[in-house]
Structure formats: C-alpha cells, structure tokens
Structure 1
C-alpha cells in the first residue's frame, strides 16, 4: 500500500513530503522503488522519511561548487572520489541521508573501487555539501554518521562546519583545505559563473589556486 501511494505522490521542485513511522525495511524498499537515477533526495531519521525535490537553481549551485572542489583537489594533486548524492545510511543508528554532493578525500584509498558502501564498516565521506538549507536542514544526521566536515550553502553564503566531540562547530577554515580562504572565495566564483560561464570560471579558479600554492611555497621556503 505504501509503495502504491508513494508512486502517486508528486513533489514539486523546492517542496518536500514527510512520511512518519517508516520502518527500516520500508525505507530499503522505498529506496529500491525510487531507484538511483532520480532528482528527489531523501533524509531518514528514526522513522521519519523526508523526500525533497530540489529547484533547478539548487542543482546549478551544487554542480558548480562541486566542480570548484574537484578543481581544487586536482590542483593540489590529491586523489579523491566524488560520490554525488549517494545514499549513506546506518541501520543501527536508524539514520540515512543523501547529500547534494560528497567527497572521499583522506579516506579515498579505503573505499577505492568499492561499488557499495556500508557505513557500519566503511568510513563516511570526508566532506558533504548541502545547498539551500532552508528546505533541508539535517546536520544531526551527518553528526550521527560522523561526517567530519559539512558545507552548507544558502543565500549566497558558505558555512563550514567541522565535527568536534560529536557535534558540528562553525569554522573559518576547512579541515580538508585549511590553507585556503574558501568561505569568501567559493561564493565569489559561484557568482562569477552566472555571468562568465562555467568553463571560464573554473579556469580563473584554477589560476587562483595555483597562485595560492605558489605563495604558500614561498612563505615556507
């Protein structure tokens, strides 16, 4: 009955649907029924399932921010794995989430080549990104899953949260990129992409990263 009703539900972009008293088995069945290639994202917290359909501008922002992070990692010559909106869940904790974007960086080697991840044995992503947090605010789920760093982008501002003693603390520096002033820079280049275009923006960002690396090298010499 739940699956029949679920298929009839239409979630307009920017809106969400809440389902209560959803068991873990029902969650697994719903995820299988929804499939991997879908626009809607889910969040699950001890029986409450949220299904949200993002706005088109939400998708633009998360793609560009994700591209900027990839460019930064490439310029730093750091191996990484971007898993997009992969479903991360832990049955013991009865929690699950699908970030807008996520990256394995320090733990990339531990999950390299794996097709399926199990957070009861595998590490969580090193960095998760949530865009438009007014409709999706679930830092408690990320805390429970022990994601070390959570970026929250809303209304043109980037907030960096780092995990300390099991709870997020807002920080001016990224755990993964401590030498870069990303709170100011990421929104600046995201805004630039709306007029200059994606490719031109990424080229400009890469040049900025290269200059930062050179300056840091000079300061350390």
Structure 2
C-alpha cells in the first residue's frame, strides 16, 4: 500500500506541474490576442481620423478659395461702381455749367445719363446676385463639411462598437474554453482515483 500512495503523490505533483504552465500559456495567448485587437483598433482609428482631417482641410481650402474669389469680385464691382459714380458726378457738374448755353447738348447728355444710370442699376443687381450666389455656395460647402465630419464620427463609433463586440465574444470564448479545460482536468483526476476537493 505505501508504494502505491507514493506513486499517486508523484502523479499528483506531475499533474500540478503540467497544469500550471498550460494556464499561464493560455493567459499569455489571451493577452497577445487582446493586444493585437487593440493595435488593429488603434490603426483603424488613426486611419479614419487622418482621412477626416484630410477631407476637412480640403474643404476648408475650397471655402477659402471661394471667399478669395468672392472678395476679388466684390472689389472689382466696387471699383466699377466708384468709377461710374465719379463719371456720373462729373457729367452732372459739366451739364450744370453749360445748361443755359447748350440746351440741345443737355437733352442729349440727359439721355446718356439715363442710360448710364440704368446700366449702373443692372450692374448693381448683377453684383448683388453674384454675391448672394457666392454666399449660398459657401454656406452649402460648410454644410457638406459638417455632414462629412458627422459621417466620419459615425464610422468611428461603429468601429468602436464592433471592436467591443468582438472583445466580448473573445472573452466569452476564453471563459468557455477555461471551463472545458477545468472539466477535463477534473475527469482526469477522477480517472486516477483522485477527488479535486482533496487536492
């Protein structure tokens, strides 16, 4: 009887020595998988953020370009407006100076003045319409930029939710595998005539 007890004691020690490295290896493998998943998540997040920033910079550049074009258009229209105003004032001064001596010339000049004023109003309306269209285009581009930022934010949150779901499934899988190994270990001890509560 004593030799058999010694044999069982040796088997018990061997089981413990074999079981411990397996558990450590399982923990190490689980940690490696978690690190890989987190690294993939971080890489995806960096890529999404980089693309969002690139699109944002591109749209900002377009808005600035349109604003510069609009300002140039305004300056040009303002210069034309100022010049036409100056010519109009000069014409009125000349007409006032020669009104008594040049009645026929005054009538002619009044006709030209009327045409000039009409052209001036048309030009002013076109300028205002152009400015309004530019402002609407800038507003539209700003709206598209905000929608794009929202879209990329949604993509990022979806990626995070997917990653969390995968991590949860992985944790459940590891827990199931751990219970299975524990059950196998229990059966092996029972096959050797040992009770796990006595160990």
Compare relative contact order (CA 8 Å, sep 6+) and give the higher one, 1 or 2: 2
Whose radius of gyration is greater, 1 or 2?
Answer: 2
Give TM-score scaled by structure 1 length. Answer: 0.16
